[in-house]
Structure 1
Amino acid sequence: MSEATASFADHAAIAVGDVVPPLERTITLTDMVAYAGATWDWHKLHYDTAYVAEKKLPGPIVDGQVFGALLVEMLQDWLGPQSFVRELEFTFRNLVFAGETLRCAGTVTEVGEDRISVSMSVVVVAEDGSDGRAAAAPASAVVLLGTPDGPGAPA
């Protein structure tokens, strides 16, 4: 698919091997504090720079659940509102610190009548722009197509 976001009509054209448009995001300390507030995860490792320095860490640690949120965002940005991530699995591989940039990537591995399966990964972007250490891999999702998400969606 050539466009970054597919419309509902494009779902029929999805094929095994299609590459999901990647999502890149630099996770700032502000992002991490907002996420902590939204999830009620106030462990000092996620926001307190003095605490993490005392522990000899290079910076506050990004909550690993952010990886899942970014993977779902990548899929729904691509597939549009007529999609619903039914299953999501990923394995944590390495710590990620405030200020680092993450790249989410995926490839369609299976296409069904009303769903697709996607193999994905989350990596830290190296200083030269290449993929650095894995943050979450392997990762996979099953996405229902033609199923709206969000408020007002059928149960």
Structure 2
Amino acid sequence: MTNPQQQPWRDLTDPRAAAAGEELEKGLKEPEFENLEIPEDLGSAQVVVDDHKIKRFAFTQDDHGPWYLERSPFGGQRIGHAALLGNDLVQLFTRVYAASKVVGYHTEEQMWFDSPAVLDEPVTLSGTYTEAFERRGEGYVVMEAQATGSDGRSIVRHRGVEILRTTPGAIAGRGSATPERRVTGIVPEDARTVDHADGDLRVGDVLAPLEKTITAEQAAVFSRVGEYVRNIHNDIRAAREGGLRAPIVQGQQQFGVLAELLTLRFGAPVLTSGHIRVKFLAPLDVFEPFTATGVVTAITPDGAGRRIDLEVWVRRARDGRLMTAGWADVVLPGNA
């Protein structure tokens, strides 16, 4: 008989191995800046976009759209959410470095969406640490990674910047050190709010906001509690050891909300031509209500369609503070 643990699994690690007494992080490197090798090949992994993986992501994001659970515009097939594979790519380094010893801080995320992942499709993830540098006494590392479909097509590409090991409570909230194109999240009071983009879209239009609250349960599931990984997002003791009051929502989980926002407002083109780049400015506690929105900054011809450029952001509800901010673009066909 075939050992089920030898078949492709939905995650980077197969937690069923723990039942056989295996140490899931045995032999992995300590996540220290001094242990980096640049460039460092992080290897590859195959994950399956199965029903459970899609439904689990829908739970963590509270995004139960029909494209993911019923049928999509892509040949009627069920597909994964635009950012479904984002955390798999971010966490790819934990195949080399011990995940439960990581007390890092994700500072920047960028993804290009090339095509949707289809239900039950095996997807190959691969990545490399391409750069390392020091700033403000912290050691940063840059990862470039990609997810490739079973037919060789690109699904998504990723570039992320992270402080590999730090005390999150000591650095969180000091904002971005790069002032370029700073996003303020300020829009005119008379700006038009757009629920779904059409041919009448204008510069200055504001995307109808998404209001969210990510619970401790959602954050824990998103942050790999099901793989027995312990971190500042799924364990209150780990959070407090990192100088935090409570677990914080992973930056990548907020990124997924922005991807949901763009998909709702611009539709299927986001999954084939979308791009988002954000910086994580301050930590977001679990159970903390927030709003995600954006504003159209430019509309330019692009082939037979139009390229829409935006500023996007996540704002904490209780005091209006920007938690995440950045830029996005998508190409809409024709006059859509």
TM-score calculated relative to the size of structure 2: 0.37
Do structure 1's residue 18 and structure 2's residue 194 form an aligned pair? no
CA drift of 1:30 comes to 1.3
Choose the corresponding residue for 1:59, options 217, 230, 246.
246
How far does the alpha carbon of each residue in 1:34-88 deviate from its partner, in whole angstroms, 9 at most, with x for none?
21239x7934201112332344422101111122111111111112224445321
**Aligned match of 1:152:** none
Contact 2:193 2:205 in 1 (8 A): no
CA drift of 1:11 comes to 2.6
**Aligned match of 2:183:** none
Contact 1:111 1:117 in 2 (8 A): yes
Which letter maps to 1:72? A
CA, structure 1 residues 64+3, in 2 after alignment: closer, same or farther (shift >3 Å)? Answer: closer
CA, structure 1 residues 50+20, in 2 after alignment: closer, same or farther (shift >3 Å)? Answer: same
**Aligned match of 2:290:** 102
How far does the alpha carbon of each residue in 1:98-126 deviate from its partner, in whole angstroms, 9 at most, with x for none?
11112112110111232200111111110
Structure 1 residue runs of 4 or more that deviate by more than 3 Å after TM superposition:
40-43, 53-56, 82-85
Which letter maps to 1:17? G
Contact 2:296 2:309 in 1 (8 A): yes
**Aligned match of 1:136:** 324
How far does the alpha carbon of each residue in 1:110-148 deviate from its partner, in whole angstroms, 9 at most, with x for none?
11232200111111110xxx52x22112x110112139x
Which letter maps to 1:88? I
Q: Aligned Cα RMSD in Å? A: 2.5
Correspondences of 1:39-118 after superposition (within 5 Å): 42-84=229-271, 86-113=274-301, 114-118=306-310
- Structure 1 SS opposite 2:199: helix
Which letter maps to 1:32? A
Identity, % of aligned pairs? 26
Which letter maps to 1:87? H
Residues of 1 paired with 2:194 and 2:203: CA distance?
17
Contact 1:104 1:120 in 2 (8 A): yes
- Structure 2 SS opposite 1:77: helix
**Aligned match of 2:156:** none
**Aligned match of 1:31:** 218
- Structure 2 SS opposite 1:115: strand
Which letter maps to 1:125? A
- Structure 1 SS opposite 2:293: strand
Consecutive unaligned residues of structure 1, counting only runs of 5 or more, are 148-155
Residues of 2 paired with 1:75 and 1:81: CA distance?
10
Name the larger-Rg structure: 2
Residues of 1 paired with 2:243 and 2:278: CA distance?
27
CA, structure 1 residues 18+3, in 2 after alignment: closer, same or farther (shift >3 Å)? Answer: closer
- Structure 1 SS opposite 2:221: helix
Deviates more, 1:45-54 or 1:98-107: 45-54
- Per residue, is there more strand in 1 or in 2? 1
**Aligned match of 1:122:** 314
**Aligned match of 1:151:** none
CA, structure 1 residues 145+52, in 2 after alignment: closer, same or farther (shift >3 Å)? Answer: same
Contact 2:194 2:206 in 1 (8 A): no
